[in-house]
Structures are given as C-alpha cells and as structure tokens.
Amino acid sequence: MRKVLVGSRSFGNVVATGKTLLQDAGFEVLRVREEERPLDVAKLVTIVSRETPAVIITGAEPMSEPVLSAASNLRMIMKHGVGVDNIDLDAATSRGIAVANAPGANTEAVADLAVGLILSLLRRICAANASTHSGGWERYMGHELGAMTVGILGTGRIGAAVARRVRAFGAELLGYDVLENEPLKRDCGLRYVPLDRLLREADVVTLHAPLTPDTERMIGAPQLRTMKPDALLVNCARGELVDETALYEHLKSGRIAGAAVDVFATEPPQNSRLLELENVLATPHIGAYTQEAMEAMDRLCAETILDVLLHGKTPGNLLNPAVLAK
C-alpha cells in the first residue's frame, strides 16, 4: 500500500474529506508525530527515511534537496496551500517528483481575514473589546474604511478578492504588481502605481505577494519611511516579505501607526518583538482557517494526488508537468 505522509498540520484535522478520498483509493495516510515537531531538515530526513512515502502533503516545512534525497520512494509533493517557497522545485523536478499546490481554495478565506484585520485596526476593535471586558467604557475613535486609500501589493487571486471587498466600502484602490490585472482596473477602479507612490499615498497597505527572491523583505526600513505616520500595514501573505526588525522600530517609534500580522518569518513567533507592541494585532497564521477553505483545499489536494498517481492525468495545478512526460 502506498503511503501518504502528512506534514501539514491542517490537512485532515478540520475535515475528513481529503483523507477519506485517499484511503478509499487504497492509500495509507499517516501523520507526522506531534512529538517530532517542529519540523526541520534533519527531522524530515529521519522521518522520510523511516516511512518511505510515495506522497508528502506539506504545509510550511522545508522540502529541500536533502529531504528529497532521503525520500527514496517519493513520487509527489502536494502543497496544502498556495505558496511553494518551502519546496525546492528544481530538485524535485530533477528527481522526477511531481509538485502541485492548491490555488484558489483559500482565496475567499484569506481575503475575508485581511479585510477583517483592516477594519479591526481602523475601528480599534481589539482595544475596545479588552477595555470593555476589564470594566472600562472608553469610546475609541476610529476611521471609516470608505474614506481610506488602500494600497494592495500583489493583485493575484487573493489581492483581487481583497480589492473587490474593499471597493464595496467605497475606498480608493491603488495597486502594485509586475502583472496588471485588467479586469480589476475596469471593475474596481484600481489604479496601478509605482511601489514608492503606493506606500506614500495609501492609508492602509495590505500585502498579497508571493515570496520569491525578488519579494523577500520588499518592505524594509526605506519603504516604511515612505509611509504616512498614520498609515497601517497588514500582512496575510508571508512573514518574509517584511523586515520585522525595521517594522518593530517604526511601530515602536510611531513612525507608522499600526500593523496587523497573520504571518511571521519564524512560526510560531516566540521571540518576535512585534508581540510586545500594543499597536500590533497578531493572529496565528489563520488566513485559510475556515471550514469552507479547508474542505476545498483538502478535497483539491486529494483529487490532485489521485489524478496524477492513479489516473495518469496532468491537472492544471501541477507545477512541473514535464516530470509526467518522463
């Protein structure tokens, strides 16, 4: 029986759909033992050498060349999510290992969270809630989203979904991306501008870019200095997009007003100084954590594995289809 090793914390934990599909097709589904977490390269080498999986369903753990070398029976890596910055795609391809992700499954969930965080910052909801629970009755002054200029950095699926939501509030939209989304310009009135102009003019900057060598730490001290003193930064994409030390310094000194962070460069962020600040709203990477998103993502992961390994198909979410031709 072929094994599917689940490294992702969430696959099969919230809904059983994907796990059931795989088991019904004859796969053995086993999870990484909780006592072996957090996962690093050395632990993964030990685990894949021991289990010899045909498939790994991965979350954020490093699927690097040493791990792939140790996985002698590996035929496929399935990302339970969208970003594949944790997977050495070149190494996988050279070894004939198919790699796929789950685009679109969590788009609405992440977009909902991003807008929720924006509203929470603008209306100071968390502070008001804490004050009221402690017996206070302070009337926290806030801002209306419709009066804001919102800059969206990255206008792919999730960025576009955020734009549509924010536009419904009446906000002005600025965008920055290497590829312009023409329907977004037409339907939402989004204007593409250079990055420095977006940072200079936006009241709220929300990040939705993938993590690549070009985008790593794209928001650092020079970019933060460009932002308005009363501006807000929201990151539901990847922690590594932001220089967290620079962000801490700018927030602590009041050079920008606040930030909402769902992702950190190191997770869990046990030593992050951002968590010391009252003007930081922090959540534990819950962008995709809705019942609906998990159902869609688990199902897509399982169906993709079955398409590739059982049915000989080449699904559109396969990232290196050339390996199937071999």
Active site residues: 238, 267, 285
CA dihedral sign, ordered 214, 215, 217, 223: positive
Task: Please state, in angstroms and rounded to a whole number, the distance separating the CA atoms of residues 183 and 189.
Answer: 9
Q: Rounded distance, CA 209 to CA 218, Å?
A: 10
Q: Which helix (H) or strand (E) holds 99?
A: strand 98-100
Q: Are 218 and 233 in contact (CB under 8 A)?
A: no
CA distance 295 to 247: 35
Give, as one character, the DSSP assignment of residue 63: B
How far is it between the farthest Cα atoms of the chain?
68
Output DSSP code: residue 147.
G
Give helix 107-123 / helix 291-309 axis angle, nearest 10°: 150
84: CB partners within 8 A, 6+ apart = 99, 101, 319
What's the chain's Rg over C-alpha atoms?
Answer: 21
- What 8-state DSSP symbol labels residue 54? S
